[in-house]
Amino acid sequence: MDAMQRPDLLIRPYVDGDALGVWRVLEPIIRAGETYALPRDMQEQEALSYWTGADRQTFVAEKDGGVVGTYYLRANQLGGGAHVANCGYATSGAHRGQGFARKMAEHSLDAARAEGFRAVQFNFVVEANAPAVHLWRSLGFQEVGRLPEAFHHPVQGYVDALVMFRSL
Amino acid sequence: MDAMQRPDLLIRPYVDGDALGVWRVLEPIIRAGETYALPRDMQEQEALSYWTGADRQTFVAEKDGGVVGTYYLRANQLGGGAHVANCGYATSGAHRGQGFARKMAEHSLDAARAEGFRAVQFNFVVEANAPAVHLWRSLGFQEVGRLPEAFHHPVQGYVDALVMFRSL
């Protein structure tokens, strides 16, 4: 799905006025606790402080004037590890399966290149989150690590998490 | 090297009065930039805030009244990942090769068990740091991930970092 197919999707930097829209995307994901290692009872201010922290750039994907997705881009480590980026993505439940996550991922790879990063690393991809694993693989990410039973899924119990990596 | 061989080594919780002693251990390691992904110009207050943050327990290894080593223990992730611990260790340059790091590591595994953690994960072991890799392997840690050229070593250039993991 390329940009020509989605002239209505705008990916742009986060501004303060996006806070509620971003929270509406994040809250159900955090409450479900199935994909992100965040406290399921995390409150709005804490979640927004995390997602839009000073150590990262945050973007929103906007469609018809509403926030349908969001992602952040940051250095995964400091010092000698600062050339590898890390990102987190979230798509509104009502807008999944429409290619928005892929568009955000492609946008983030371009943004990471523009910032001079040499690679992107995902530290903790819950393997049970099959759509995410499939998407990252299709975008050239490789599984470089497997963390045994590192995630406690609310339905499936202890499941593995993957470390995924892609050079830029 | 068991405790009987080192009756003079005391590992105990960090207190504010240890700040200078801990900094004296950390500073040369940070300045060298060969083992930790931290900014080489990191200053004392920032480093101590990191090492002794509210999200972790910090310990010191004391010998003859001086701090010869220090480590922290924290949850590696929040929410569904909070059952896996993460630790960082540092030993004074003048006291390496004497088994202090091993004593701290053993202490940290006991402390992690006591806190109810199910495993310990090291996110970023610089492979070029052979003594560390050897020590973790000897303590039962396995390489569960390899991050290609994820660390820029000041002498060796881009080198791999390892993800190491041990169940408790």
What's the total number of domains in chain B? 1
Counting Cβ atoms within 10 Å, is residue B33 exposed (0-12), middle (13-18) or buried (19+)? Answer: buried
Q: Looking at the predicted structure, is the pLDDT value of residue B57 above 70?
A: yes
Counting Cβ atoms within 10 Å, is residue A114 exposed (0-12), middle (13-18) or buried (19+)? Answer: exposed
Is B136 inside any structural domain? no
Instruction: Tell me the CATH number at B61.
Output: 3.40.630.30
What are the helix (H) ranges across chain B? Answer: 19-32, 44-51, 100-114, 130-138
- Among B4-8, B115-119, B152-156, the minimum mean pLDDT is found in B4-8
Question: In this predicted structure, what is the pLDDT of residue A94?
Answer: 87
Nearest-by-Cβ selection for B83 from A82, A152, A167: A152
Is A138 inside any structural domain? no
Is B145 inside any structural domain? no
Q: Spell A22-58 as b/e; 16+ CB within 10 A means b.
A: bbebbeebbeebbbbbbeeebeeeebbebbbeeebbb
For chain A, which residues lie within 8 Å of any Cβ of chain B, measuring from their own Cβ? 33-34, 36-40, 42, 77-84, 118-119, 121, 123-124, 126, 144-154, 161, 163, 165, 167
Is A135 inside any structural domain? no
pTM, two decimals, is 0.94
Q: Looking at the predicted structure, is the pLDDT value of residue B29 above 90?
A: yes
With CA atoms as reference, the chain B residue closest to A38 would be B79
Q: Looking at the predicted structure, is the pLDDT value of residue A41 above 70?
A: yes
Question: In this predicted structure, what is the pLDDT of residue A51?
Answer: 98
With CA atoms as reference, the chain B residue closest to A157 would be B80
Question: In this predicted structure, what is the pLDDT of residue A3?
Answer: 47
Which of the 8 DSSP states describes residue A53? -
CA dist A152 to A31, A155, A163, B34, Å? 14, 9, 16, 34
Size of interface A-B (CB pairs under 8 A): 106
Question: In this predicted structure, what is the pLDDT of residue B121?
Answer: 98
Average pLDDT for B28-49: 97
Q: Model confidence over A22-34: pLDDT tens digits?
A: 999 999 999 999 9
> B152 to chain A: which residues are within 8 Å by CB?
80-81, 83
E-assigned strands of B5-103?
9-13, 56-63, 66-75, 84-91
Give B37→chain A minimum CA distance, Å: 5
Is B44 inside any structural domain? yes
Residue pair B91/B101 in contact by the 8 Å Cβ criterion? yes
Is B132 inside any structural domain? no
Question: In this predicted structure, what is the pLDDT of residue A7?
Answer: 60
Q: Looking at the predicted structure, is the pLDDT value of residue A6 above 90?
A: no
Say if the ipTM goes beyond 0.85: yes
Is A75 inside any structural domain? yes
Q: Spell A136-166 as b/e; 16+ CB within 10 A means b.
A: beebebebbbebebbbbbeeeeebbbbbbbb
Is A15 inside any structural domain? yes
Positive or negative: CA dihedral A123, A125, A127, A130: negative
Categorize the per-residue pLDDT at B137 as very low, low, confident or very high, splitting at 50, 70 and 90: very high
Domain of A87?
Answer: 3-119
For chain B, which residues lie within 8 Å of any Cβ of chain A, measuring from their own Cβ? 33-34, 36-40, 42, 76-84, 118-119, 121, 123-124, 126, 144-154, 161, 163, 165, 167
